[in-house]
Amino acid sequence: MLIYVLSDSIGETGTKLVQAATSQFAIEDLEIRRLPFVRDQYAVDQAFDEYLKDISGKHQNGMIVFTLVSPDLRSYTMNKGRSLDIVTMDILGPYVEQISRMLKLDPRLKPGLTHRIDKAYHKRVEAIEFAIKYDDGKDNSGLKEADVVLIGISRTSKTPLCMYLAYQAIRAANIPLVPETPVPSELFSMPRFKVVGLTIQPDVLHTIRVNRLKEMGIYAETNYTNMERILNELDYAQEIMKKIGCPIIDISNKAMEETAGKIMQIMQRSV
């Protein structure tokens, strides 16, 4: 299935909506193409031309969705889709029109307002810089400044989760738990809901680590993938987490969004 997302800005809103909707279906050949800065009829025509070329290839069905603020351009795009017998959806216009009627106000009709550089944008940037600086225990001096600190053994998704949380403007640091390395003393004095332990089922972790080494061209059994070592690491991490008294999340077979959501729920308890 092929879905074109037309936007007069960067297309992030439309793309996320499409991803949310399509996640409810098992679509093996899904392709989402984002076409940003579509701001005139010529750009719309070009987008439809490209779509027709693509849909005639490997895809058997598809559609065009758009988030355009100009009423004239929205109307033009819908009419273009009808004339070419292409499924076309306006996924922003109806909401803007309904809110306009309720508030009895005219919309500003300016593209990209949700992505303007404001305080929220700067908070996200600062959070991303924070996550990079305090990743993987490289620098423990910022632990007290963190909104949350993730702890766990290697390959428990600490870094990806920190970056995901940073995009939500949450300052997240992470500390790897390694039996041979002392745990930073700061962890034991932090509010317990500001520290979140990440654990994982041994067989799931073993598969992840084996695949990771294969990606690096290493196929031999190593201490990193040895099951006895994995069990020892998990036991050590569990012991540390119990000493800290922090909440623990089993990330086995959980999507990144699900784990991040649980972390944010836990953080609410420390407020």
Fold: same for 2-115 and 119-268: yes
Residue 174 is predicted with a pLDDT of 96
Q: What is the mean pLDDT of residues 119-142?
A: 88
Q: What is the mean pLDDT of residues 253-269?
A: 91
The 10s digit of each residue's pLDDT in 79-112 is: 999 999 999 999 988 888 888 888 888 877 777 6
Q: Say if pTM beats, i.e. exceeds, 0.85.
A: no
- Of all residues in the chain, the percent with pLDDT exceeding 70 is 97
Find the Cα–Cα–Cα–Cα dihedral 222, 224, 228, 234, rounded to 10°: 180
Instruction: Please provide the DSSP assignment of 81-97 as one string.
Output: HHHTT--EEESSHHHHH
The 10s digit of each residue's pLDDT in 31-71 is: 999 999 999 999 999 999 999 988 887 777 899 999 998 99
Q: Which fold has domain 2-115?
A: Rossmann fold (3.40.50)
The 10s digit of each residue's pLDDT in 164-198 is: 999 899 999 999 999 999 999 999 999 988 999 99
Residues 132/226, Cβ–Cβ less than 8 Å: no
Q: Which of 3, 56, 5 is nearest to 25 (CA)?
A: 3
**Does residue 206 surpass a pLDDT of 90?**
yes
**Does residue 117 surpass a pLDDT of 80?**
no
Q: What is the mean pLDDT of residues 150-159?
A: 96
**Does residue 115 surpass a pLDDT of 60?**
no
Calculate the alpha carbon distances from 110 to 59, 71, 84, 116 in Å.
34, 11, 28, 11
Q: Which CATH number applies to 119-268: 3.30.70, 3.30.530, 3.40.50, 2.30.110?
A: 3.40.50
Residue 270 is predicted with a pLDDT of 62
Crossing angle for the helix pair 227-244 and 202-215, nearest 10 degrees? 120
Show me where the domains of the chain are located.
Answer: 2-115, 119-268
Q: Which residue has the higher pLDDT, 60 or 153?
A: 153
**Does residue 116 surpass a pLDDT of 80?**
no
Give strand pairing partners of 63.
3
Residue 92 is predicted with a pLDDT of 87
User: pLDDT band at residue 122, thresholds of 50, 70 and 90?
Assistant: confident
Residues 64/50, Cβ–Cβ less than 8 Å: no
Residues 15/75, Cβ–Cβ less than 8 Å: no
Q: What is the mean pLDDT of residues 125-141?
A: 91
Residues 267/148, Cβ–Cβ less than 8 Å: yes
User: Which stretches does DSSP call E strand in the chain?
Assistant: 2-7, 31-35, 62-67, 88-90, 148-152, 172-176, 195-199, 248-250
